[in-house]
Amino acid sequence: MAHDPALAWLDAHYQAMPPVAALGVSIAGYDGDALRLRAPLALHVNDKGCAFGGSMASLMTLAGWGLFTLHVRAVGLDADVFVADSSVKFRQPLYADLAVEAWRAGDETWDDALAALRTRGRARMFIAACVRGTDGVVAAESRARFVAVAKG
């Protein structure tokens, strides 16, 4: 992904945060709609040999945060992006490396949110995410509300 300057920036931003660097995250893909991350199971294994639920929640939060941040930067805005609330359902144990994906949920479009950020200095978006195993089975799903606050 290093050939895309926006993703290279996001990756550097991720790795500069100690709790994110500890997650062993790498960017697996971005098509403008969905952001995909990966992380090795070895860093996230719990006492049962599967992925720790807290790690899956962290990775989904991080994917949602990254997705919103990419959209904000793509239109030349600068904002702090926060997670405001989230709900997570854990479907089944995951015994493989973690593939995480986040995408827009809810009725507001990215254009709506970015217009609000530009005119009112604040925007919110609902973002869904999931964690899959290498067999494609969904181990965890989330829906979260993120808020962006314009800087300066």
Residues making contact with a second copy (CB under 8 A):
13, 16-20, 22-23, 42-48, 52-55, 57-59, 61-62, 65, 80, 82-90, 93
- Considering the complex, state which of residue 88 and residue 113 has its C-beta at the smaller distance from a second copy: 88
Rounded Cα gap, residues 105 and 61, in angstroms: 14
- Considering the complex, state which of residue 6 and residue 115 has its C-beta at the smaller distance from a second copy: 6
Q: Taking every pair of C-alpha atoms in the chain, what is the biggest distance, in angstroms?
A: 49
- Considering the complex, state which of residue 93 and residue 106 has its C-beta at the smaller distance from a second copy: 93
**Is residue 78 within 8 Å of residue 72, measured between CB atoms?**
yes
Rounded Cα gap, residues 28 and 7, in angstroms: 10
How near is the Cβ of 104 to a second copy at its closest, in Å?
Answer: 19
Q: Which residues pair with 130 in a beta bridge?
A: 101, 141
How near is the Cβ of 4 to a second copy at its closest, in Å?
Answer: 20
How near is the Cβ of 47 to a second copy at its closest, in Å?
Answer: 6
DSSP string, 29-98: EE-SS-EEEEE-GGGTB-TTSSB-HHHHHHHHHHHHHHHHHHHHHHTT--EEEEEEEEEEEE-S---S-E
How near is the Cβ of 23 to a second copy at its closest, in Å?
Answer: 8
- Considering the complex, state which of residue 10 and residue 113 has its C-beta at the smaller distance from a second copy: 10
Q: What dihedral do alpha carbons 11, 141, 144, 119 form, nearest 10°?
A: 60
- Considering the complex, state which of residue 30 and residue 146 has its C-beta at the smaller distance from a second copy: 146
How near is the Cβ of 65 to a second copy at its closest, in Å?
Answer: 8
